Structure 1
């Protein structure tokens, strides 16, 4: 079958996308084989691509946002059926979805929302899992409590779905950071109650809006840059949950007097360590999918790069690296 892999070219001293012929593996007991209809790109893709080198040239098939149709079932698969349209993020230690047919653990896969196209659905899994786990599994937000939740990086892929989950599935007030007018308009359209500029002092801006501080903070952009601002506005007993690695040690003493906590969210943890509760990702995608089919939550797809080709993947990665993408970039099936 055809796949598009990232490969380090030793002569050119750079990594590029190349179409390769991949061997179709036999599915494991709990695997399903999916005919890939659409994919989305995420920062994890270019991070892995950039890690390839002379010593580790690849090939590495990327792509951890997939929608498609199940064409084969492992011998012990019970939660999914042949011919089902599905969406999922997959496992980072296995080949990704930039291919024609993809093997994935059934417990990570949910039925695709019926109201969405394949491309609209492919924009959602990784960011939805990340946001949902951060909100409900890490911050343990009570769906009935009324809290001020600050989202740092409101217009990005994770921020875009997190705003909607918070507004539709909780009673929280959402404060989102955004810079450009386009970003501010986008997060407002998703339901953000308040918007502040990520380049300015958070505390001053919140006080101008008569907001004392944030009960909880979701950091979806540059933890190092925003940590001092976040530590300043987090309220006593609150938590900061970040999805972004730090490049330098954080001064946790800034949180000490408030008894505030710092948490990490990595949506691949369950699949990477094969935790017994990894079916939680199937469940949460199904739950969010029901809200989508009710018209309460919308796809975060904003840019369509056409079919999956080497050139289109390169262009999508280049645009994502610029750091100004609102929502998600999607591509169609590999032909």
Structure 2
């Protein structure tokens, strides 16, 4: 049977109305009253599969997932002219774990998969123990990037090392290559809020995390792009974390701002495992003149 344009439009409209009428019939498969969609009266024009323009009530359209405002290419490139660094003052850490909790909440991380780890450290039996927050080091020579077979782990021009979970195949080569053990594997499906779970993955927010992929500290580039500090920095009440740009020679914890080079020089700043040649972007200030006495969870967990 051949239909002209007007007949075809009438046929499609009748089909839509017919499906609505069927939905009103009593059957074991009827939706609950709260699931019944009511016409809004607001009509939108759409292009059908046959190339015809039709009008459909907006209430019957499924919402389109929110797309990232940035392209994957822009996320992988980074912020031009910047070189981000972090300084962690070990004399100020009291193991409050506010940094950890804030990071977990902001990135919807599994409770057992902390991206910020706090290790009790003791150099020898006769020296005093202290707490050491450990994040991804965002190395200038990152071994994790070199071993990734699918370019899922990459280093941006602003120094931040990120993971593209849309590419990650879960081989965990990057975890084996990282000498700082800062990466975690998502073994379980995460119980994410629907609004987050339905969003497309973004390298800058590292969300939503996916089962079978690797996750890690990302320096919160989405916050940095807005001119704000990473979540761990702003959440710490003792000002342990300083974040900034080495090109501008400036770091801040929100309340205090220092010349990056002078802070490292005057406070004897250092980097972990310097001899490996990874060139970390995270620096530490030694735990001297401490603000707090060491309060251990279990002295048997202290690393020597």
Q: Identify the TM-score tier after normalising by the shorter chain.
A: under 0.3
Using the size of structure 2 for normalisation, the TM-score is 0.24
* Greater relative CO (CA pairs within 8 A, separation 6+): 2
Structure with more of its chain in helix, by fraction: 1
